[in-house]
Chains A and B, each alone.
Chain A
Amino acid sequence: MYAQLVDTGVKRVKSLDEMTPEERAFQEKVDADIKIEPKNWMPEGYRRTLIRQISQHAHSEVVGMLPEGNWLTRAPSLKRKLQLMAKIQDEAGHGLYLYSAMETLGADRDEEIEKLHAGKVKYSSIFNYPTLNWADIGAIGWLVDGAAIVNQVALQRTSYGPYSRAMIRICKEESFHQRQGYDILLTMMREGNDAQKAMVQDAINRFWWPSLMMFGPHDADSPNSAQSMSWKIKRHTNDELRQRFLDQTVPQLEFLGCTAPDPDLKWNEKTGHYDFGPIDWAEFYAVIAGNGPCNRERLETRRNAIEDGQWVREAATAHAAKRAKKQTAA
């Protein structure tokens, strides 16, 4: 979701018989839904997979501030500006506590951020799309946060304690963001002029497919899912979550009076779910590989922020050292 294509480094899931006694004890704990805590023994692959997933999630929160920041200085009313500022502030906070959860696994925040800036690790593909009109801010809140919530609600039950607790806290705030996003769109559709209505439909047309892609490849093309599911890092497959998101979103789309850019989208009486058309996976992999519309700009902005801020962080460290020295002397 905010974590896509997380590599477990495992080709085949071991059966209990094939495990060492430590691995078996660990797996039995996971199977019994007992949370794994930082001091507990865990397989190296589990630890590394979690670091990858949580750091990707944290990076996504931080990079995700940028497409919204693009409209923050142009929000059309005091109320909307305040809402968006509060949302972005929450996202910075989510980034912080996800990095903290990640550090409980022995990873270092600065090192992981360096990997991000070197292009070695990823963040969610969705944040590589541009925000081109104000309705995009509504569409991000409704669709992107909506998709994130579907995934994160499931992750509240993830096996690693600190990650699970971070998710519980984050979900509360995200559902608030989603309602605000939907309210932006609903206000523009109900009280807006023709130009505003066109903005809403345009935003949905552009964000619809990328939101569905947030859940990652189809299960058949998701080689890491089996191990992640067995470790209960993941609790549902990509396709299950995508379907859940779609089923809850289509009625909201209809309520808005808008359409999806998918001629195959229709209710299926037999399955009790919405059917949808083929996802353009070539686009997904291109964005993941760094060739999306804004990959270069997003990373450049983040890299510059950290590089331009280096002297500030050095000053803070130097001052703290001087202060500590003075206190020791006194």
Chain B
Amino acid sequence: MSQRNDLAEYLLRLGDSALVTGQRLCEWCGRAPALEEELALMNVGLDLIGQARGWYDYAAELLDDGRNADALAFKREERDFRNLLIVEQPNGDYAITTLKLFFYDAWHLPTLEQLSESSDERIAGVAGKALKEARYHFKRSSEWVIRLGDGTDESHRRISDAVDRLWRYTIEMVNIDPLEQELAKTGLAADPAFVAEQWQARVAKVFEEATLKLPEPAVPFYLNGRQGLHTEHLGQLLAEMQFLPRAYPDATW
């Protein structure tokens, strides 16, 4: 694979995680626990889908096969999606949603910190803007993890259950992916070792304040979002999201 293709692959990973997170946030519309949260969730979702578009636009240029950002979002199969497994998990209750966002944000923020200094100007541009948004996302989700962890008995139980359920997927935030490691060497991508270290430190700090027990580090297992090996949830999510462009393949909207 050429570096050009590797880079496109990396951009799809960034875009897919942002898009799928945003899509899950759309499912909350009208169902959030308070009106202020409706506003905040929609705001985060808007940021992320906007970022996804930025990554897809660039990926489409690099791929140069006639597909545009919309085609990448709406016409790819589930096996071609490269998002982290954590973001495709169903929303569950507010504890699950909060923790999914937090684990993602704690990975996203250091990733963007590095990408905003990428040797590729285009990447640095998208990441620079996204970084400001991701700082707020991380702050917000950390605060909610702390509130729920150190709130009532019920909220503590619910967020602890969420940790049990989601922890296995955090392997993807700390493992060292060879493609990313290679791209990082040339200053194009975020260094996975730095991101892993940051992720662990940030999660440990917030968990302590939230009075949550930090599990043993997650271990690799059969599934791998970066390789397109997803949980069954992604296919359902895409079926809904991609319905119109697939039902009317040549239509303009």
> How many angstroms between the C-alpha atoms of A192 and B73 in the bound complex?
20
Please name all residues of chain A whose beta carbon is closer than 8 Å to the beta carbon of B46 when the two chains form the complex.
82, 85-86, 89
Residues of B whose CB lies within 8 Å of any CB of A are 22-23, 26-27, 29-39, 42-43, 45-46, 49-50, 52-53, 56, 69-70, 73-74, 93-94, 146-148, 150-152, 154-155, 158, 240-241, 243-245, 248, 250-253
Q: Are A311 and B241 in contact (CB under 8 A)?
A: no
Please name all residues of chain B whose beta carbon is closer than 8 Å to the beta carbon of A76 when the two chains form the complex.
74, 244-245, 251, 253
Q: Does A248 contact B (CB under 8 A)?
A: no
Please name all residues of chain A whose beta carbon is closer than 8 Å to the beta carbon of B22 when the two chains form the complex.
85
Residue among B93, B244, B250 having the largest count of chain A Cβ atoms under 10 Å:
B244
Nearest residue, chain A, Cβ from B36: A96
Q: Are B29 and A65 in contact (CB under 8 A)?
A: yes
Closest CB pairs A-B (n = 7): A309-B33, A315-B151, A315-B155, A69-B29, A76-B244, A89-B42, A312-B33
Closest-CB distance, A79 to chain B (whole angstroms)? 8
Interface range on chain A: under 10, 10 to 19, 20 to 34, or 35 or more? 35 or more
Q: Mark A183-194, 1 if CB is under 8 A from B, else 0.
A: 010011001110
Closest-CB distance, B211 to chain A (whole angstroms)? 10
Q: Are B49 and A319 in contact (CB under 8 A)?
A: no
Nearest residue, chain B, Cβ from A184: B253
Q: Are A311 and B152 in contact (CB under 8 A)?
A: yes
Q: Are B94 and A62 in contact (CB under 8 A)?
A: no
Please name all residues of chain A whose beta carbon is closer than 8 Å to the beta carbon of B151 when the two chains form the complex.
314-316, 318-319
Q: Are A305 and B147 in contact (CB under 8 A)?
A: no
* Contact residues of B: prevailing secondary structure: helix
Please name all residues of chain B whose beta carbon is closer than 8 Å to the beta carbon of A309 when the two chains form the complex.
32-34, 37, 94
A-B contact pairs, 29 of them (CB 8 A): A62-B30, A62-B35, A73-B26, A73-B241, A74-B240, A77-B74, A78-B53, A78-B70, A85-B26, A86-B46, A88-B29, A89-B46, A92-B39, A191-B252, A192-B252, A193-B248, A196-B248, A196-B251, A305-B30, A306-B33, A308-B93, A310-B33, A311-B158, A312-B148, A314-B152, A315-B151, A315-B152, A319-B146, A319-B147
> How many angstroms between the C-alpha atoms of A104 and B240 in the bound complex?
43
* Contact residues of A: prevailing secondary structure: helix
> How many angstroms between the C-alpha atoms of A192 and B248 in the bound complex?
10
Please name all residues of chain B whose beta carbon is closer than 8 Å to the beta carbon of A45 when the two chains form the complex.
none
Q: Does A72 contact B (CB under 8 A)?
A: yes
Please name all residues of chain B whose beta carbon is closer than 8 Å to the beta carbon of A187 when the two chains form the complex.
252-253
Give residues of chain A (36-50) contacting chain B, Cβ–Cβ below 8 Å: none
Q: Does A80 contact B (CB under 8 A)?
A: yes
Choice from A72, A99, A314 contacting B155 with Cβ under 8 Å = A314
Closest-CB distance, B57 to chain A (whole angstroms)? 10
Choice from B35, B73, B150 contacting A95 with Cβ under 8 Å = B35
Q: Are A192 and B30 in contact (CB under 8 A)?
A: no
Closest-CB distance, B29 to chain A (whole angstroms)? 3
* With A305-B32, A315-B154: A85-B45 Cβ-Cβ less than 8 Å: yes
Give residues of chain A (2-29) contacting chain B, Cβ–Cβ below 8 Å: none
Choice from B33, B42, B49, B152 contacting A305 with Cβ under 8 Å = B33
* With A77-B74, A92-B35, A315-B154: A134-B244 Cβ-Cβ less than 8 Å: yes
Please name all residues of chain B whose beta carbon is closer than 8 Å to the beta carbon of A196 when the two chains form the complex.
248, 251
